[in-house]
Amino acid sequence: MNYLNSSEFAKQLDAADPLGKFRQQFYIPRHNGKEVVYLTGNSLGLQPRATQDAILNELEDWANFGVEGHFHARNPWMPYHEQFAKPVSILVGAKTSEVVVMNQLTVNLHLLMVSFYRPTPSRFKIICEAKAFPSDQYALESQVCFHGLNPDQTIIEVGPREGEHTIRQEDLLSAIDKHRSELALVLIGGVNYYTGQVFDMQAITKAGQAAGALVGFDLAHAAGNINLHLHDWNVDFACWCSYKYLNSGPGSVAGAYIHERHHTDPAIPRFAGWWGHDKTSRFNMEKGFIPIPTAESWQISNAPILSMAAHKASLSVFMEAGFDALVAKSKKLTGYLEFILDDIQNRLLTQSGIKDKRLEIITPRDPAQRGCQISLLAHGYGKALYHKLLENGVITDWREPNVIRCAPVPLYNSFEDIQRFGQILEDAMK
């Protein structure tokens, strides 16, 4: 598409956008009486307007039924989590039996590593990407220490080459091959939180499993953002949060995927709880854990209904919009953001005294290697530029030492948002 940096052009794109109506289903924060340009859906998604009623319904049922709400609420609490199997399986490309909504992201990551990181004297190493999200790093380090191993000798980080910002696929695959005889686990963030790089999860899975390792992904920045086909890619396990692109509220309930081949394997250990116990005998209250023969067996505690109500409200919007349509719009929005940034940079570079101050896009230019995030290095500006944007009604995300992350989310961001952001950014840089 041939883009133009003008308000009129952006409005034309919005007028022709069949998904533009979904913006009205979200609360947009305001600044000085005007809607902000909100580009931080990769950190915390905006609130769907249906969320308050969804939570209120559960509060009312709690008031009216008490404990009987488990059976007689409008959405009975006992099987409440089961309603997520279909929409979540669509979003991550799995079978309904392979997904479960439970806990929070890092809790799920730890629970899955209990099952899928089983080091032996000969196979104990883990491969991950350098500059993974800190919580992933802490989880890996603590799991390794739990097994009595040294993280420095166990965890292999694959990073960008000198002078580059993203990780080359061939370097990941080379590391897997190099350590194949000692490798127990490959654990990668499907989309790197810092650069927005999307990894080739299918190729990584194939290479890791060919080396004799298990392969899992943290999909915090992927779920609800990019197309996923976890079952077809043969991924062993994955987990994700719901408060970013899935718009389910701060700290809301998370999700997990476990390939069906692992569900009934008695050799795979798991931390057991009664919500993962066989449903037909759960209330017999007897000793001896009998796992549900699906991903549900990794559940420990009963459902957090209020968080799940918010999640339900958001997922209904996704199902109404259609995820393929959202991804298509995402590519156009992100492409327009890339164009606007390049246009600003080209103009500023022609002005005297500005050449030492520039923005560098560190997110891959190839649309197949990114979702709806573009990360910028703010050379010569520092955090003052981020604050200047904030003062003028643009909410982005700052990451040390000098990166501004911008995420145009297709459910509620518009092309006019992008063009307006460009105007404010250019003025701030001047």
| Count of structural domains, the chain | 2
Q: How confident is the model at residue 357 (pLDDT cuts 50, 70, 90)?
A: low
Domain CATH for 234: 3.40.640.10
Q: Which pLDDT score, from 0 to 100, does residue 355 have?
A: 62
Angstrom distance (rounded) from CA 338 to CA 361: 8
Alpha-carbon Rg for the chain, nearest whole angstrom, is: 23
Q: Are residues 159 and 147 in the same domain?
A: yes
Provide the percentage of residues in the chain whose pLDDT is more than 70. Answer: 99
Domain CATH for 360: 3.90.1150.10
Please give the angle made by the CA atoms of 127, 224 and 307, to the nearest 5 degrees: 100
Q: Cis link prior to 401 (omega < 30° from 0)? A: yes
Residues 151-167 have pLDDT tens digits of 999 999 999 999 999 99
Would you report the helix, strand and coil content of the chain in percent, each value rounded to 5?
45, 15, 40
Asked if residue 310 belongs to a domain, the reply is: yes
- Write down which residue in 319, 339, 370 finishes a domain: 319
Angstrom distance (rounded) from CA 293 to CA 279: 10
Asked if residue 1 belongs to a domain, the reply is: no
Kind of pairing between the strands at 254-258 and 237-240: antiparallel
CB contact at 8 A, 398 and 404? yes
Q: Are residues 183 and 80 in the same domain?
A: yes
Asked if residue 98 belongs to a domain, the reply is: yes
Q: Which pLDDT score, from 0 to 100, does residue 368 have?
A: 95
The mean pLDDT value of the chain amounts to 96
The pLDDT of 284-305, averaged and rounded, is 95
Residue 430 pLDDT more than 90? no
Which residues are CB-contacts of 342 (< 8 A; sequence separation ≥ 6)?
A: 361
Angstrom distance (rounded) from CA 334 to CA 330: 6
Residue 378 pLDDT more than 90? no
Q: How confident is the model at residue 352 (pLDDT cuts 50, 70, 90)?
A: low
Q: Are residues 237 and 291 in the same domain?
A: yes
Task: Count each helix (H run) and each strand (E run) in the chain, helices first.
Answer: 13, 15
Q: How far is CA 179 from CA 125, 155, 160, 275, in A?
A: 8, 11, 18, 38
Residue 373 pLDDT more than 90? yes
- Write down which residue in 319, 343, 376 finishes a domain: 319
Angstrom distance (rounded) from CA 308 to CA 130: 33
Q: Which pLDDT score, from 0 to 100, does residue 358 have?
A: 81
Q: Which pLDDT score, from 0 to 100, does residue 382 have?
A: 84
Residues 11-47 have pLDDT tens digits of 999 999 999 999 999 999 999 999 999 999 999 999 9
Q: Are residues 37 and 113 in the same domain?
A: no
Q: Which pLDDT score, from 0 to 100, does residue 272 have?
A: 95
Q: Which pLDDT score, from 0 to 100, does residue 120 have?
A: 97
Half-sphere exposure (CA, 13 Å, Cβ side) for 25?
Answer: 21
Q: Which pLDDT score, from 0 to 100, does residue 356 have?
A: 63
- Residue 119: which domain range? 53-319
Residues 220-239 have pLDDT tens digits of 999 999 999 999 999 999 99
Residue-wise over 2-28: b if at least 16 C-beta within 10 A, else e?
ebebeeebbeebbeebebbebbebbeb
Q: Which pLDDT score, from 0 to 100, does residue 401 have?
A: 87
Strand partners, 52: none
Q: Quick one: which H or E segment has residue 24?
A: none
Q: Which pLDDT score, from 0 to 100, does residue 25 have?
A: 98
Listing DSSP states for 277-335 in one string gives: B-TTTGGG--SS--B-SSGGGG--S---HHHHHHHHHHHHHHHHH-HHHHHHHHHHHHH
Residues 100-133 have pLDDT tens digits of 999 999 999 999 999 999 999 999 999 999 989 9
Q: Are residues 210 and 331 in the same domain?
A: no
Q: What is the pTM of this model?
A: 0.96
Q: Are residues 272 and 336 in the same domain?
A: no
Residue 370 pLDDT more than 70? yes
Asked if residue 327 belongs to a domain, the reply is: yes
Residues 307-350 have pLDDT tens digits of 999 999 999 999 999 999 999 999 999 999 999 999 998 888 77
Q: Are residues 60 and 128 in the same domain?
A: yes
